[in-house]
Amino acid sequence: MDGFNENAWWTLPENFDVPLVTFIDEAQEEHIFGPEDLYLRRIELHSNTLIQLERWFTASGQTRVTVVGPLRAKMWLMDMIRSVGSQQAYHQARGQVMLHLVRSQPLTNADLDASFSMLAYICGLICHIFFGF
């Protein structure tokens, strides 16, 4: 089989054990995945994930987004989706940068690390503010 890699992420059962799920509205879905899901496959390829979109999943018309794949990639995508949909300008801008990145090129370990180092910084800041450590 040409191009088959026995160590590819989709051959590892643990990448399917715990799908991450979120709900987004129609406008956010179109913004992220494009009209008629134009960017969906590219985002999947660049993030090494599979993404299932279930439109009108809730009574309010939201889309359920289910992501499977390596844990760091799933968490990175969920962070991007949350950031794009944030009401805070900083998080929205960060989400836009992440969205552009995953649409334009495959994610690297450095991309994944950058997202998690920011998350660790925010968690540390929250602990310091609320708990004094």
Instruction: Report pLDDT digits (tens) over 59-99.
Output: 788 999 999 999 999 999 999 999 999 999 989 999 999 99
Residue 42 confidence (pLDDT): 98
Q: What is d(CA 86, CA 71) in angstroms, rounded to the nearest whole number?
A: 22
Strand arrangement, sheet containing 63-68: 20-24, 63-68, 50-54
First to last CA, the chain: 54
Q: Is the pLDDT of residue 121 over 70?
A: no
Q: Enumerate the H helices of the chain as residue ranges.
A: 26-33, 40-47, 71-84, 89-104, 109-131
Q: What is the pTM of this model?
A: 0.81
- Any bridge partners for residue 3, and if so which? none
